[in-house]
Amino acid sequence: MTFLFESVFNGMSIGAVLLLTALGLAIVFGIMGVINLAHGELMMLGAYTTFVVQNGFRQLGEGWFDAYLFIAVPLAFAVAAGIGVLLERGVIRYLYGRPLETLLATWGVSLILQQLVRSISWQMTLQIILFCLLFFGGRWLLSKRAIAPPWQAWVTPVLLVLSVGIGLTAGLLVGGAVGLAMTKPWFGAQGVDVTAPSWLRGGVNLWGVQFPFVRLFIIALTAVCLVAIYLFLLRSQWGLRIRAVTQNRSMSACLGIPTQTVDALTFALGSGLAGVAGCAISLLGSVSPNTGQNYIVEAFMVVVVGGVGKIVGSIVAALGIGYVNYVIGSGLMTRFLEPQTALFAFFEFFASTSMARVMVFILIIAFLQLRPAGLFPQKGRTVDA
Amino acid sequence: MPKLSQFSFPKDRLSGRELIVVAALALILIFLMPPLLPGFRLDLLHRYLALAIVALGIDLIWGFTGLLSLGHGIFFALGGYAIAMHLKLQVPATASSSLPDFMMLYGVTELPWFWYPFYSFAFAVAAVVLIPAVLAALLGYLVFRNRIRGVYFSILTQAAIIVFFNFFNGQQKLFNGTNGLTDFQTLLGFPVRDAQTQYWFYVLTVIFLALAYLLCRWLTMGRFGRLLVAIRDDEARVRFSGYNPTSYKVLVFAISAALAGIGGAFFTLRTGIISPRAMDIAFSIEMVIWVAVGGRASLIGAVLGALLVNFARSLLSEQFADIWLFFQGALFLIVVLALPRGIVGWLRTEAPNLIAKLLGRPQPLATYPELEFDPEVQYEREVLEQEGK
């Protein structure tokens, strides 16, 4: 009986992490149909936000430190959602309806975000701020006055070159004058560690099974996020608009729904959830700029297996994949089998974390042979999927 | 956004002139480059030419057929592993055991059964082509049969690459795990790391690149090529016209995988190591960007893109180690947002207009030329203008 509890709990806790990472994708990919390969990096940004908040609260003293998670979760949501809006307005909105291009562009964004986290320093912040001020400020100023047509085409490139040049040199000069305090990267390429607050350390022992508090917290966080999403999508004004736009964009526009705002909002919601997921994974292990890469493909698989466009599907798929992952990876099956048989050898071969992933992906590909559209396929007849 | 086919139809015949140009370029690469370039650059050129073979395969499936595979690292690595396994079995007579050296570390006493055929050089060479091709055909059949395509295909190939990465990474006893196969000695009795042997590998790489180019050219120029482009632009219509896109896609995917295998084998021969790192997700997406930068649906573009991006990478990372990732990320964005047809596509379509504009020549007309030069239309226009006054 004990091991049943144990396996259900452990499977559920793996599934909860998967679900939390996939929830944002279920919205961005499932509902909007945007392939965002930078989703993992948004998670990573959420994790780094948690790290920064944790350090800030540590300065305040031990009593405050225990409360940092209550600030970190909303802040991680806000940071990731903000970057998400920038990403949607700056890149993705030009690429709606071209999924393969979106995939490549967002991969580019993910590379930039990774390197940004590695090398961001005060000097670099200064450079970025200067560039933005000069470039966007200059464009705003110049847009006020009329410029003769032959020169109009030159405004943006000239401004771009000028502001990049000035921003870079100014940053380098200030960095050279101030020294290491300016040029030292904030995080560096090494991983950083987030310490769980004292009330999340340890665990509770029930029926002979150890339930670590961190895992319980993540399961609770996932549940809260799920309820919040359902309430938002099904009960709120903007949720209604989001559903309307996904069902019929042009009809929604005719009825006065600002579809562009809805796009930005939906994307921000999905990105923000990635930030929350990042907050959760920062509690599980050390966080490095590459962290996002480890989760992204599995998150996509959850959405595909669940059926694109159905959040219910993602929930079932995440829990199912998590459970199978645990059962195979922990070697649970070998307990019930006679040693020295072929089946035993087979399960023993896959009884490790990395080999369990192999098995799970093979099972997923096999599953998609039976149900190409996932567990809960969208109804309707279309030639093009 | 115009469809790609408006400007990317391959010429219908392989002209004699093109053959001569390809042969001349190959001869230049073989005879002129080695004395001209310093050893380090030649080494890089050799590697990138091997990668250009892979890029041709990617162009075939992505540029022409519209299947974005993010898992070509699998086939690249399998080609590399196939030749590396043969090399590892060339155990020197002085060694204490007849097994490859890493196996003793993990206490393997008997050669795993699937290593035996690799004693034969002919088998290893065939495996470089056939193992990736057969695997791709199998995978492609399972995926395309269910009409999984577009981004779903891309995601599945990404999942497949994780399967293979984890598998090769986890099997120390079979493939030396993370460290990969390295420390090669001889091939057919020749020392692998010798400069002379490496030169012959280089010559072979160039020849295979030229052959791969001609193969892709031959595939894409006729009826078959038209079908591939048709599948890319409107698969449903191809199916309704009575063709079965599945078999075509499986075939093209297999050919492209075989090209990746060949590229991987030559790359391995040059670098002297093949490890699961070749199945990194990032590496496979990079292959796509080579083709995108050069110009998809243009075979020359694929080769050019592979060489350009990789040389840019080595130059930039020599100068500023950190900048490369920023630059690469920007490259993805630029190619998608500003230069969707790549360099070759830009040269073919936009560059002539730009030059004409700079020289003050008349712009090509966007409307019907007959209308612009029709005297009657001109007359009516003048009348209208006068009436307006």
Find out whether A127 and A167 touch, Cβ atoms under 8 Å. Answer: yes
How close B151 comes to chain A (CA, Å)? 6
| Domains of chain A listed by start with CATH number | 1-120+185-370 (1.10.3470), 121-184 (no CATH)
Q: Is the pLDDT of residue A81 over 80?
A: yes
Q: How many beta-carbon pairs under 8 angstroms link A with B? A: 117
Q: Which residue of B has its CA nearest to A93?
A: B337
Structure-block tokens of residue B369: 């030329």
Interface touch A115/B322, C-beta < 8 Å: yes
The answer to whether residue A360 neighbours chain B at the CB level (below 8 Å) is: no
Q: Please determine, for residue A150, whether its predicted confidence score (pLDDT) is greater than 70.
A: no
Are B151 and A99 a contacting pair at CB < 8 A? yes
The answer to whether A168 faces chain B, any CB pair under 8 Å, is: no
Q: Cβ B154–A114 below 8 Å, yes or no?
A: no
In angstroms, the CA A231 to CA B36 distance is 69
- DSSP symbol at B361: P
Q: What is the average pLDDT across B41-52? A: 89
Structure letter (DSSP) for residue B222: S
Task: Tell me, yes or no, if A354 comes closer than 8 A to chain B by beta carbon.
Answer: yes
- Residue B372's pLDDT band, with cuts at 50, 70 and 90, is low
**Under an 8 A CB cutoff, do B148 and A100 touch?**
no
Structure confidence by residue, pLDDT tens digits, B295-348: 888 888 899 999 998 988 888 888 777 778 888 888 888 888 888 888 888 888
pLDDT over 50 (residue B272): yes
Instruction: Say how far apart CA B161 and CA B168 lie, in whole Å.
Output: 11
Contact (CB<8Å) A98/B1: yes
Q: How far apart are CA A327 and CA A329, in angstroms?
A: 6
Phi first, then psi: give them for residue A209, nearest 5 degrees. Answer: -115, 140
β-strand partners of A204? A211
Closest-CA residue of chain B to A372:
B146
CA B223 to chain centre: 23
pLDDT digits (tens, 9 = 90+) for A169-204: 888 888 777 777 777 778 877 778 888 787 777 777
Q: What are phi and psi of B180, to 5 degrees?
A: 75, -175
Contacts of A86 (CB under 8 A, 6+ apart): none
Q: Does the distance separating the beta carbons of B329 and A365 come in below 8 Å?
A: no
Chain B nearest C-alpha distance from A73 (Å): 28
The reported pLDDT for the residue numbered A265 is 92
**Which residues of B fall within a CB distance of 8 Å from A361?**
159-160, 162-163
Say yes or no: B285 contacts chain A, CB-CB below 8 A: yes
Answer whether A121 touches B (CB < 8 Å). Answer: no
Point out the least confidently predicted range of A96-105, A114-123, B183-192: B183-192
Best mutation target, B231, B332, B335, to test chain A (most A CBs within 10 A):
B332
Percent of chain B surpassing pLDDT 90: 20
Q: What is the pLDDT of residue A331?
A: 73
Give per-residue burial for A350-367: e unless 16+ CB within 10 Å, then b.
bbbeebbbbbbbebbbeb
Nearest chain B alpha carbon to A293: B281
Distance (Å) from the alpha carbon of A187 to chain B's nearest alpha carbon: 14
Calculate what percentage of chain A has a pLDDT beyond 70: 97
pLDDT band at A268 (very low <50, low <70, confident <90, very high): very high
Give residues with Cβ within 8 angstroms of B387, minimum separation 6. Answer: none
Which residue do the tokens 């320093």 mark? A121
Which pLDDT belongs to residue A385? 41
- Indicate the range of A202-216, B63-77, B163-177 predicted with least confidence: A202-216
A62 to chain B nearest CA, in Å? 37
Contact (CB<8Å) B159/A364:
yes
Query: Which residues of chain A does B160 touch, with a Cβ-Cβ cutoff of 8 Å?
Result: 361, 365
Is residue B377 less than 8 Å (CB to CB) from chain A? no
The pTM score is: 0.85
**Long-range pairs for B306-309: beta carbons < 8 A, 24 or more residues apart:** B306/B48, B306/B51, B306/B52, B306/B54, B306/B55, B307/B45, B307/B48, B307/B49, B307/B52, B308/B343
Average pLDDT of span B279-287: 88
Partner-chain residue, chosen from B152, B166, B325, that has the shortest CB–CB distance to A355: B166
Cβ proximity of B193 and B200 under 8 Å? no
Q: How confident is the model at residue B168 (pLDDT cuts 50, 70, 90)?
A: confident
**How far out from the chain centre does Cα A344 lie?**
38
Window A:75-104, CB contacts with B under 8 Å: 91, 94-95, 98-101, 103-104
The burial class, CB within 10 Å (0-12 / 13-18 / 19+), for A36 is: buried
Which tens digits make up the pLDDT trace of A294-319?
888 888 888 888 887 778 888 999 98
Name the amino acid, one letter, at A294: N
The segment with the largest mean pLDDT, out of A272-276, A290-294, A305-309, B350-354, is A272-276
Model confidence at B3: pLDDT above 50: no
Specify the pLDDT at position B2.
43
pLDDT of residue A354: 76
In chain B, the DSSP E strands lie at: 181-182, 186-187, 190-191, 273-274
Are the CB atoms for B279 and B165 separated by under 8 Å? yes
By Cβ distance, the residue of A99, A104, A369 closest to B142 is A369
The answer, for B326 touching chain A at a CB cutoff of 8 Å, is yes
Q: Give tens-digit pLDDT for B100-127.
A: 777 777 777 777 888 888 888 889 899 9
3-state SS of chain A is: CHHHHHHHHHHHHHHHHHHHHHHHHHHHHHHCCCCCCCHHHHHHHHHHHHHHHHHHHHHHCHHHHCCHHHHHHHHHHHHHHHHHHHHHHHCHHHHCCCHHHHHHHHHHHHHHHHHHHHHCCHHHHHHHHHHHHHHHHHHHHHHHCCCCHHHHHHHHHHHHHHHHHHHHHHHHHHHHHHCHHHHCCCCCCCCECCCCCHHHCCEEEECCEEEEHHHHHHHHHHHHHHHHHHHHHHHCHHHHHHHHHHHCHHHHHHCCCCHHHHHHHHHHHHHHHHHHHHHHHHCCCCECCCHHHHHHHHHHHHHHHHCCCCHHHHHHHHHHHHHHHHHHHCCHHHHCCCCCCHHHHHHHHCCCHHHHHHHHHHHHHHHHHHCCCCCCCCCCCCCCC
